[in-house]
Amino acid sequence: MEFPEKPKEVEILPENIPLDILYEDKDIVVVNKSAGMITHPTPSFTSGTLVNALMYHCKDFQGISGELRPGIVHRLDKDTSGVIVVAKNDKAHQSLSKQFKDRVTEKVYAAIVKGIVKKDYGTIEVPVGRNPVVRTKMAAVDWGKNALTYFKVLRRFKDATLVFAYPKTGRTHQIRIHMKYIGHPLLGDELYGSGKKDEIYGATRQMLHALRLSFYHPTTEEKMTFVAPLPEDFKRVLKILSEIY
């Protein structure tokens, strides 16, 4: 009788980093990620990431592709806060990956953008690809991958607009690129907006928050929806904007 090989451990060290866990069971863990936290280790950032924290807080990872590690099926930028779901085993990883690929998941982001967005609703369908000049950035380019975002205006301020963004594809920096494309970059966005100049509004990072995420549970197939409340820095910017006349 042959036994399956025990999943091998990878060089991701568990770290006791506080996490806001919204839900957890044997298949998945849903986290309200704080701004400033990288999702997955990179050659430049080997510690302090969401994966390092999950390796400490969750003791029942069953292995993803033979490795004892969390299964990352989607990512949030370092300075984007909000809901992210992580798989604990191969079955959950495959199920969630397929749902994201097939656009079964439903994602809603809250964003504060510069200027006054005139339309109450809008559709942005512009390809997104690697910036040909600055390789660390993305851009709206003809040769990029198709990208689709819907948006709805919630409130207009004197200098900015609060919108809900509904990305139907999952391209890197998609919402940030798309809002810039229509002339309304995210408040506080150092790569695609005014960056530190927006600190006069209290924005010390891009004002983007993954507010709501819906998907089907990989085992029960029940539709699940998770909401991450707006973080304090996001609410503080809204308060400052509301006081500007």
Question: Tokens 């998941």 sit at which residue?
Answer: 105
Contacts of 161 (CB under 8 A, 6+ apart): 112, 113, 115, 116, 117, 153, 155, 184
Q: Which residues pair with 30 in a beta bridge?
A: 23, 85
Q: Confirm whether 77 is a catalytic residue.
A: yes
Residue 238: name the closest of 160, 140, 141 by CA: 160
Burial class (CB in 10 A: 0-12, 13-18, 19+), 3: exposed
Give CA–CA dist 229/245, Å, rounded: 27
Amino acid residing at 108: V
Is residue 165 within 8 A of residue 151, CB to CB? The reply is yes
Cβ(44)–Cβ(2) under 8 Å?
no
CA dist list (Å): 113 to 75, 143, 149, 159, 217: 21, 26, 15, 9, 33
User: Among 25, 27, 60, 77, which one carries the catalytic annotation?
Assistant: 77
Q: Are 105 and 213 in contact, with CB atoms under 8 Å apart?
A: yes
Angle, alpha carbons 104-165-147 (nearest 5°): 60
The tokens describing 18, both together, are 């506080």
Q: Which residues are catalytic?
A: 77
